[in-house]
Amino acid sequence: KLAEKSDDGFDGITDELNEGKVQFFYIACDVGGMKKYCMVGFCGPSVTGPQRGNFNNHYTEFSKWLKVH
């Protein structure tokens, strides 16, 4: 589920980070006049148990989903 869309690049991520959530970001940035894309996964320090344990699996699933869409 897309929670937010922004044009702020990396600067916008810091406003969206939540200590109690697992979050994934797909960011488009201009680097030397070319558009580059970056996938970022964040597992907040307050995330515990199964959610923390499944973080790597969810990161891989998100990566696969991005390749298809």
Q: What is the pLDDT of residue 5?
A: 74
H or E stretch at 13: helix 10-16
What values do phi and psi take at 56, rounded to 5? -60, -40
In terms of pLDDT, which residue wins out, 14 or 5? 14
Q: What is the pLDDT of residue 48?
A: 93
In terms of pLDDT, which residue wins out, 5 or 59? 59
Amino acid at 28: A
Residue 1 binned pLDDT confidence (cut-offs 50, 70, 90):
low
The predicted-structure confidence for 11-52, as pLDDT tens digits, reads as follows 778 888 899 999 998 888 888 999 888 899 999 999 999 999
Supply the DSSP string of 37-62, one letter for each residue: EEEEEEE-TT--HHHHHTHHHHHHHH
Q: Cα–Cα distances in Å, from 5 out to 22, 26, 48, 49?
A: 17, 10, 27, 29
